Amino acid sequence: MLEGRSCVVSRVFGSSCQPESQCQWSFMTYPHNGGGGGGKHPLDGSDDDFRPFKSLKIAASESRQPTSHPQSDSDQAAGHSSDSDPLIDAIGRDMSINCLIRCSRSDYGSIASLNRSFRSLIRSGEIYKLRKQRGVVEHWVYFSCQLLEWEAFDPIRRRWMHLPTMTSNSECFSFMCSDKESLAVGTELLVFGKEVMNHVIYRYSILTNSWSTGMKMNAPRCLFGSASLREIAILAGGCDSSGNILSSAEMYNSETQTWVTLPSMNKPRKMCSAVFMDGKFYVIGGIGGSDNQPLTCGEEYDLEAKKWTEIPNMSPARSAAAREVEMPAAAEAPPLVAVVNDELYAADYADMEVRKYDKVRKSWFPVGKLPERAVSMNGWGLAFRACGDQLIVIGGPRTAGEGFIELNSWIPSGDGSPEWNLLARKQSVNFVYNCAVMGC
């Protein structure tokens, strides 16, 4: 984390905590080009050139500042942020905010260190609401290769950031050994696990660069399917503390931090996957029934009608290798699925293939190969995620201790074969335990 109370991102921006007179306006190096050519900044939400809009009111009372740190002279000189605060005197408030929302959020720690007005705009979360109004979204990949440790990767700047170590209590050993699920929603990263017999949720906020606990679902669970859409997320199925397989579902709103119970699915299932597609929520595959066998069906939840519909054969078929050796269903990872531009893709870890779902025929067909290092143990340790308009594959070492993982991306277009682009390689002796993508 940046040294100093006003900084909210990782040490990679440590040099940004300097006096206001010395700060560099890094966002000014990205001029907007409305012509649509190669000069257009990748964070632009539209081609409208800096159009004025009504600013959200930014509260900057003393209660927003950390009480453990005295107010600095520069804070006192900054005054209170309000609708009349120009932020950057020379260009005015609306133009200032239009500049800020086009900055990479990896720069927001530097910007927050300038004065109280900027800090309040960022740490209150108002800047992300304004970004959402203008359709400006950055997708970052968050993943864990070590227990209690998380990394963030910015695929635009290809920059790594290390998150603070997850806080834990005396029961952390049981949490580390438990099954864990992760989910990014709004400006939060949620990690679900168990401490002894109780389910626990760790919440990381990009606004404060810190972890917290205490959040409770209406029906705590593990081994569920989940997906997020802007500020909401839906979790369905899974197991309760007694191991019972669930059909229930819940929706979480990250802006209000509240949980709402949804109608139950038609079939209970665990170790399933989930996606949002065409504005609806889908649960795919999993294990269910009295004999704990793989489920080939999926279920669609219509958020407006509040109704579940079963869809036959929506789950990608089990690999031939798994069928030949009669591998137990629980030995395989949940279906590796992701949605890009409302098209559903799956990774077949055994045949090293990418498949695409035909929504008309309700069937899967192969489109090409996975990256060479997309290796796993029955699907475990391999991350397959949508990241904006691209698919991301994170593959771990072939053998324990080999030393690094790779991040590859592909932007699907039509029915063309995947052409994978190596984004980054990182030292790691472990597989990928958990992975989530946050867009805000």
Q: For the segment 43-64, what is each residue's pLDDT rounded down to a tens digit?
A: 444 444 333 444 444 333 333 3
> Region 209-236: what's the mean pLDDT?
94
Structure tokens at 92: 């005015």
Q: What pLDDT is recorded for position 414?
A: 76
Q: What pLDDT is recorded for position 214?
A: 79
What single string gives the DSSP state of each residue in 235-303? Answer: EE--B-TT--B---EEEEETTTTEEEEEPPPSS--BS-EEEEETTEEEEE--EETTTTEEP--EEEEET
Residue 237 above 70 pLDDT? yes
At 399, the pLDDT band (50, 70, 90 cuts) reads low
pTM given for the model: 0.80
Mean pLDDT taken over the chain = 79
185-194 tens-digit pLDDT: 999 999 998 8
Structure tokens at 179: 């099954």
Q: What pLDDT is recorded for position 398?
A: 59
> Region 118-131: what's the mean pLDDT?
90
> Region 105-128: what's the mean pLDDT?
87
| Domains of the chain by start residue, with CATH | 11-133 (no CATH), 139-439 (2.120.10.80)
Structure tokens at 309: 């519909």
What single string gives the DSSP state of each residue in 419-438? Answer: --EEEEEEEESS---EEEEE
With residues binned 3-state (H G I as helix, E B as strand, rest as coil), the percentages for the chain, rounded to 5, are 15, 35, 50
